[in-house]
Chain A
Amino acid sequence: MLGFIIKRSLLLIPVFFAASIVAFLLIHLVPGDPVDSLLTVGSPPEQRQILTERYGLDKPLVVQYGIWIWGVLQGDLGTAIIMRRPVADLMADALPHSIALGASAFIFYTVIGVSLGVTAAIFRDRWPDRAIMTGVLFGSTLPSFWLGLLLMLVFSVWLGWLPVSGARGASSLVLPVLTIGLGGTALVARITRVAMVETQRKDFVMLLHAKGMHPLRIQLLRVLHHALIPVVTILALRIGFVLGGAITVEVVFARPGIGTLLIRGIMQHDYPVVQACLLMLSTAVILGTFLGDVLQALMDPRARASLT
């Protein structure tokens, strides 16, 4: 097991560097550069050259990447060109908001999704199953920005129960969490149901029935235990998307966070900000995948053999 973890974590290194190259290149491919935003109309061409040199934008891309990644490895994310603050500070301001939203939504859809999936599987092909699966279909197809605006309309405008937008206090978290949570619930419920239904057909479950164990005990203790492997794996993968999955919702509810910071950075061509945000989001996904693989290997000995 330890061997698996070591081998698997060594694989993280090349993937991290590949992701950092993508994060760096993407924003440099966008036409225009940050100096455009800094210059006022009619400023002399020398001004442009001074600024370009000051931010090292005149050097070849490879050199720029080298300087950036060397800094990152030493914990220095650089300074935002347009926002004129250390990127680390900007991230430190934004991250708590994104984590609060992402983590609450994650807990919400894990708990509700697994419960719904288990209920649907226990009542397979009867009305509770059909009702839940219809709900799941709607939940997975609603576009998140529309769902967000819909919830805003009902709970903030018509009922006046919750704040429309912003990030003041826990009450402003409710609607964004619901918006992300409903889509996530659909996914988790569907996977849980499929895994449960597949396990129900296994020989050992039939044996338990034959031995006269109470059907509900079989479902909740044995079938669920066995079915949790794929569910936990998918949930671990989703952890990585907790930050990146909230971009649209952050914009709709005007919440400060990594998503809004990233979009602002893209619009202003603020290279260091965009690079740092992208690197952070992809690192989260890479670590989530790692966690998923390790958990799967812990729970399922067959998976350990796949990486040799």
Chain B
Amino acid sequence: MMRWIAPFRSAFGRPMGSVAGGWLVFLIAVAVLAPVLTPYDYDVQNLANAKMPPDAAHWMGTDEFGRDLLTRILYGARTSLTVSTVSIGLSLMAGLTLGAAAAYFGGWFDRVVTTVVDLTWSFPEILIALILVAIIGPGTTGTMVAIAVAYLAQFTRLTRAQILSLKSETYIEAARSLGASHKHLLFRHLIPNALAPVLVAAMLATGDAIILEATLGFFGLGAQPPTPSWGAMMSSGAAQLFSAPWIILLPGLALTLTVIAINLFGDALISALDIRTKLRDA
């Protein structure tokens, strides 16, 4: 357990890491506590109060339906954070399994996996996600699966590269000569040692997933109303760009700060774990 806590502590110890990590902890806290923190409901419309600029009652103003923008940003954080972490989690697990199996067993299975992975790389992620959402249907589930599949290639590739380089290490050879089973080698030696760079890549990908979720939301394909999502807020705000620019500026700012924080914290983790070269080789 200490093995996994130490790098986080070290990352928080760096100046950039502490600011970035602090913002992420703060964001998760306010997202969880949203119902307690705000007196407003995220979905009760009050058209008389529409498009009010920020003031004492509505710290971030109101949107085109008179709903408190700060409240919607807080609830939007829930959507963004859940969708991105669940989808990257799914993608990570599938990618680890596929990549490890491909590298370990080699042969035709490896060739099929590599070919499919290379093939999905010839389409931009947003394109894969767009079409998958069209297939599964718009909404939170569709978005999660779409993002998970869009990033599958990256994790498979990275895991495969890690396992391939570990496979020829002497300690693996030693374990094998002592009669270790495939299962023992994979789950006790190879995957745990390959995990650090893949987990950091997953952390960085979570930032990209937040952007992808927002982009799908912007196209109207993400979480469906009344669930607030940052992307959908900006999409409806785009029509109010002239009269109420804060509707689009503030959710975008929350999103940008979050993605920057994830990147900075990921960077601090990379330094703490000393895995910069491993990430680049894949």
A281 to B123 CA separation, bound complex (whole angstroms): 7
Which one of B102-110, B158-166, B238-246 is at the interface? B238-246
Q: Is A296 in contact with chain B by the CB < 8 A criterion? A: no
How many residue-residue contacts, CB under 8 A, span A and B? 98
Cα–Cα, bound, A262→B126 (Å): 12
Q: Contact mask A136-166 → B, CB, 8 Å, 1/0? A: 0110111111100110110001000000000
The 9 closest A-B pairs by CB, nearest first: A146-B252, A285-B122, A244-B124, A141-B259, A143-B211, A30-B134, A282-B122, A29-B135, A141-B260
Are A143 and B127 closer than 8 Å at their CB atoms? Answer: no
Contact segment of A14-22, A58-66, A168-176: A14-22
Contact present for A245 and B124 (CB under 8 Å):
yes
In this assembly, does A263 line the interface, its C-beta being within 8 Å of a C-beta of chain B?
yes
Residues in A neighbouring B118, C-beta threshold 8 A: 15
Taking a contact as CB atoms under 8 Å apart, the answer to whether A266 and B134 are in contact is: yes
A157 proximity list for chain B (CB < 8 A): 241-242, 245
A137–B207 CA distance with the chains assembled, in angstroms: 12
A248 to B121, CA, bound (A): 18
Residue from A144, A153, A241, A262 within 8 A of B241 (CB atoms): A153
Closest Cβ of chain A to B237, distance in Å, is 8
Contact A146 B255 (CB under 8 A): yes
Answer yes or no: B256 CB below 8 A from chain A CBs.
yes
Measuring CB to CB, which residues of chain A are less than 8 angstroms from any residue of chain B? 15, 18-19, 22, 26-27, 29-31, 137-138, 140-146, 149-150, 152-153, 157, 194, 240-241, 244-245, 247-248, 251-252, 262-263, 266, 278, 281-282, 285-286, 289
Q: What distance in Å separates the Cβ of B221 from its nearest Cβ neighbour in chain A? A: 10
Other-chain residue from A142, A144, A194, A244 in contact with B123 (beta carbon distance below 8 A) = A244
Chain A min CB distance to B219 (Å):
7
Query: Is B218 at the interface (CB under 8 A from chain A)?
Result: yes
Are B263's CB and A278's CB within 8 A? Answer: no
Evaluate contact between B260 and A143: CB separation under 8 angstroms. no
Query: Interface extent on B, as a size class?
Result: 35 or more
B234 within 8 A of A: yes
Q: Is the CB of A143 within 8 A of B134?
A: no
The CA-CA distance from A283 to B207 in the complex, in Å, is 29
Interface of B is mostly: helix
State whether A145 touches B123 (Cβ < 8 A): no
- Contact residues of B with A, CB < 8 Å? 115, 118-119, 121-124, 126-127, 130-131, 134-135, 137, 207, 211, 214-215, 218-219, 234, 238, 241-242, 245, 248-249, 252, 255-256, 259-260, 263-264, 280
Instruction: Assess the B215–A248 pair: CB atoms within 8 A.
Output: yes
| With contact pairs A30-B134, A141-B259, A150-B252 given, residues A22 and B219 touching in the complex (Cβ less than 8 Å) | no
Dominant SS at the A interface? helix
B241 adjacent to A142 (CB under 8 Å): no
Q: B256 contacts A141, CB within 8 Å?
A: yes
Say yes or no: B259 contacts A143, CB within 8 Å. yes
Q: Please tell me if the beta carbons of A278 and B123 are within 8 angstroms of each other in the complex.
A: yes
A149/B238 in contact, CB under 8 A: yes
Interface centre among A138, A141, A244, A289 (most CB of B within 10 A): A141
Q: Assess whether B122 is in contact with A19, with CB atoms less than 8 Å apart.
A: yes
> Which one, A30, A143, A266, A286, contacts B122 given CB within 8 A?
A286
Could you write out 25 A-B pairs with CB less than 8 Å apart? A22-B123, A27-B131, A29-B135, A30-B131, A31-B137, A138-B256, A138-B260, A141-B259, A141-B263, A142-B256, A143-B214, A143-B215, A145-B218, A146-B248, A146-B252, A149-B234, A157-B241, A157-B245, A194-B280, A240-B122, A244-B124, A262-B127, A266-B130, A281-B123, A289-B122
Which residues from chain B contact A285 at a C-beta distance below 8 Å? 121-123
Q: Contacts A150-B252, A248-B126, A251-B219 given: A141-B207 contact, CB under 8 Å? A: yes
A145 and B137 contact, Cβ closer than 8 Å, known pairs A26-B131, A153-B241: no
Residues of A contacting B207 with CB < 8 Å?
141
Question: Once bound together, how far apart are the Cα atoms of A26 and B207, in whole Å?
Answer: 27
